Amino acid sequence: MSSQSLRRWSWIHKWSSLVCTVFMLLLCLTGLPLIYHHEIGHLLGNDVEAPAVDPKVGRANLDEVIAAGRALYPNKIMMYMSQEADEPNIWNVTLGDHPTDEHYKPIAVDARTAKVITEPAFEGGAFMSTMFRLHVDLFAGLPGKLFLGFMGLLLLVAIVSGVVLYAPFMRKQDFGTVRHGRTSRLKWLDLHNLLGIVTLVWALVVGATGMVNTWADVLLKYWQATEIAEMLAPYHGAPPPTKLASMEDAVRLAERASPGMQVAFVAFPGTPFASPHHYGVYMRGNEAFSSRLYKPVLIDAQTGAITDHRDLPWYLTALLISQPLHFGDYGGGWMQFLWALLDIATIVVLGSGLYLWVQRGRAVKRHAQAVAQSGAPLATPALVRTGD
């Protein structure tokens, strides 16, 4: 690689890293507890568990489940109801003042008795809720998400440029070498490079999936403006439903139309995952991978008839795959542990990068002062050039 090309890549790596490092440190620090959000919620006693009942008790009618939730907030409307794959005895019912209410009320209802169990908090309580909002949008909504997405893009640029710079650097020494006994800066430079290469694939995966996740709102709006608009064309100009069809009948109809699948969640009319005229019943598979992919079944909210059902477009499929992959939710405890270790290693990479930048600035300043005192011509010190 020519010296001019090396300088160009060095400039790209330097500034892409400097711009995104502080925010990436924030995301790594907030992401670490989020990897274990289920476990932290359990330790803090925020888990919702279904009470023991007679095994002979069957499944409650879904209309009764909805009625139990609405009884707590009669002035609010239904937004969603969902079930976790590992907790089929609980329906999570969500109510709000309007279909897109961000201050919704979550209610856990027993799926067998249709009795309210509790009003759960976010897993881990206020601390985990704060970590989640900082990690997702910096408490700034869509602008915050898109800003963090741009920081994720800069991270990918920094990783690629770092790999380009690392190749010629490693020709001079064995892989994994950490030089001791010279200067603290060189030791941290070697450690920074080593950990950067070790965490390369993970950082690319997490950075790319995190960037995709920040586009969720935009992708949903695009889906609504294209495929959903196409599915709703026959309802153009039609008045909204005056009476909603039975949810029990709607879900059973969706199950018959999607053999081998089970209900993941139901979106009520007006919410982003439905339409003003439909229930959106989202089915999922039973395997570890297929359980992350949804198949929407649109059901006329007034007549209870299926109007359309089709697979999600590729970009929403990519979004659904990237969300659990971002937090290591696919492989159980061992994958979570690996994700946590790599997260900590990335924190060291980011922190050492900041340290090296500060130390380099100090070295340049000391060199300039020494030159000024000696009256010698100004030259770049070898310490600043070596390994950068």
Give residue 32's pLDDT: 92
The CA distance from 104 to 298, in Å, is: 23
DSSP string, 374-388: HTPPP---HHHHTT-
Phi then psi dihedrals of residue 106, to 5 deg: -85, 140
Q: Strands across the sheet with 262-267, in order?
A: 116-118, 105-110, 87-96, 77-84, 262-267, 278-284, 294-300, 306-309
- What is the domain partition of the chain in residue ranges? 3-39+130-212+332-385
Give residue 269's pLDDT: 93
Give residue 110's pLDDT: 94
- Is the full-model pTM beyond 0.85? no
Within a 10 A sphere around the Cβ of 70, how many other Cβ atoms?
Answer: 16
Instruction: List, in sequence order, the alpha helices (H) in 296-331.
Output: 314-326
Is residue 232 within 8 Å of residue 277, measured between CB atoms? yes
The CA distance from 123 to 110, in Å, is: 19
Q: CA dist 94 to 79, 186, 362, Å?
A: 6, 55, 55
Give residue 200's pLDDT: 83
388 residues of the chain, pLDDT tens digit each: 677 888 888 899 888 988 998 999 999 999 999 988 878 877 776 667 778 887 778 889 999 999 999 999 999 999 999 998 778 899 999 999 999 898 899 999 999 999 999 887 665 567 888 899 999 999 998 899 999 999 999 999 988 888 888 767 666 666 556 666 566 666 667 677 777 777 888 888 899 999 999 998 899 889 888 888 888 888 888 888 889 999 999 999 999 999 889 999 999 999 988 888 999 999 998 776 677 788 889 999 999 999 988 888 899 888 888 888 888 776 678 888 989 998 998 888 888 888 777 777 766 666 667 766 665 554 444 333 334 4
Give residue 249's pLDDT: 96
The CA distance from 359 to 17, in Å, is: 16
Alpha-carbon 23 to chain mean position: 15
Is residue 185 within 8 Å of residue 363, measured between CB atoms? yes
The CA distance from 42 to 166, in Å, is: 43
Give residue 42's pLDDT: 73
The CA distance from 144 to 345, in Å, is: 26
Give residue 175's pLDDT: 56
